[in-house]
Structure 1
Amino acid sequence: MTDTAIAWDTYSRQRPERRPTNGRGETTWFNWTQYPDHGPGAELLEAPAGGRVLDLGCGKGGNAAHLATLGVRAVGVDVSPRQLVAARERWGQTSGLELHRAEAVRFLGEDDGEFDAVYSVFGAAWFTDPAVLLPAISKRLRPGGVLAFSQRPPVEGCYGCQASYIPRGADEDPLIVKRWDYEPYEWKRLLKERGFTDVDATVLAAPPGNRTIGTLIVRARA
């Protein structure tokens, strides 16, 4: 197992399971943000019924499973065996859902089909060098297809490749994975340089309360 897979397996143990139902009583739903029952849904992807959609860094599979219930052919990819075990245990019987263990860029290079949309929710689009990932996505998106991803906004003054620390036991050093942080205007530039159009990058404010960190949501077309 690679160091990256070990890191995300460790992260998986620390994350709570998705709730049985959301605030509307639904058993599947799409969530772009780090807050429950907040923000837009699957409509951002404009995925047609019967279309093929790719989740890069699908984690425990909740978003991909929801798309499958909408009649979309949902493909989820993750490097963490533990995440995928959890995804298969909960969603493995969902018709139209495929789950694969693979690194995002490698999967994009090996898959020979087109996707109507590619998305990442706090996933591979955050933790993969965009200079490598964006061209790989562009080759697999059909013309007019949607790329969308969400992540935390950058800390002011901390841009580009940064370190994310995944804690372990009290006597163990944390595991480290790389992430790529940019302000919205920089994501727009990076996407346009690689041929994407209709680019939008905005920070959605956190829900009312004590929370102050919003969610960066980026969307573009091939």
Structure 2
Amino acid sequence: MAETAWDTYSQQKPERRLTNAAGKTTWFNWTQYADHGPDAEVLGISQGSTVLELGCGKGGNLAHVATLGARATGVDLSLAQLKAADARWADTALLELHQADALDFLARCTDTFDAVFSVFGAVWFTDPATLLPAIRERLRPGGLLAFSHRPPIEGCYGCQASYINRSEDEDPLVVKRWDYEPQQWTQILRERGFTDATALVLPAPPGRRKIGTMLVRATA
């Protein structure tokens, strides 16, 4: 069911532009708004770093990480998403894609990473009680976890339902997500053994909708 949901979502999501506002063919975007917010410097990576994205989708952010000289590994449950990623970024060196559930991949993986990230991806849609310890196992000492998603609706915290619409004749598909306020995220991360945990809501661009973006970072 989850794979079907994300394949359906893939069909609805517009393709990434060929270039951004600065004319670049690859770029990193943590927020839901184009040409907005911080770049890959949040990850603190350099040439030769090993980086894992959980819920890489069509691979735009991951491809940019690879162009910075990092070994970039992406995981997504949706085969449709990964096919689109492979078609767009097939010529990008140091880019490796896997179809898998995030928890299953982490359980099988023997590599360690300098950074793990998720942009509106698997960290939002997987129970942190099980996912965060699995991520920490695969991070090198001092490695960074960073992820972003929409802030929670006030009073609606913990496991929530997200709906992916289909045709008018079909019921929407339902996936679970985990919503927390910034101080809740930092507490959860500390309880799972992470340090230097920070969480903040990046404001939306001026003149746009007022929904910001939650950006969370922590060190293993």
- Displacement of 1:210 in angstroms is 3.4
- Counterpart of 1:52 in structure 2 is 50
1:50 deviates by: 0.8
Structure 2 equivalent of residue 78 of structure 1 = 76
Equivalence for 1:142: 140
Instruction: Give, in whole Å, the separation in 2 of the partners of 1:196 and 1:132.
Output: 14
* Equivalent residue, structure 2, for 1:112: 110
What is the CA distance between 1:93 and its match in structure 2? 1.5
- Contact 2:46-2:68 within 8 A present in 1 as well: no
Query: Aligned residue pairs: how many?
Result: 220
- In structure 1, what is the Cα distance between the partners aligned to 2:131 and 2:208? 35
**Residues in 1 aligned to 2:46 and 2:218: alpha-carbon distance in whole angstroms:** 17
Establish whether residue 32 from structure 1 lines up as the match of residue 30 from structure 2.
yes
Contact 2:75 2:100 in 1 (8 A): yes
Q: Could you tell me which amino acid in structure 2 is paired with residue 40 of structure 1?
A: P
Q: Which residue does the alignment assign to 1:62? A: 60
Cα distance, 1:195 vs. partner? 1.0
Q: Secondary structure at 1:143's aligned position in 2?
A: strand
Residue in 2 aligned with 1:190?
Answer: 188
1:146-165 residue pairs with structure 2 within 5 A?
146-165=144-163
Give ranges in structure 2 of 5+ residues lacking alignment.
none
* Cα separation, 2, equivalents of 1:40 and 1:90: 23
Aligned to 1:5: 3
Residue correspondence of structure 1 range 13-32 to structure 2 within 5 A: 13-32=11-30
TM-score (norm 1): 0.98
Q: What percentage of residue pairs aligned between the two structures are identical?
A: 68
Corresponding letter in the other structure for 1:42: A
AA matched with 1:120: S
Superposed CA offset, 1:74-104 (max 9, x none): 0000000000000000001110000000000
Dislocated runs of 4+, deviation >6 Å: none
State the TM-score, normalizing by the size of structure 2. Answer: 0.99
Counterpart CA distance in 2 for 1:132 and 1:96 is: 29
Q: Please state how far the C-alpha of 1:48 moved relative to its aligned partner.
A: 2.2
Report how far residue 47 of structure 1 moved: 1.3
**Partner residue, 2:121:** 123
Q: Aligned Cα RMSD in Å?
A: 0.5
Aligned to 1:94: 92
Code of the aligned partner of 1:21: T
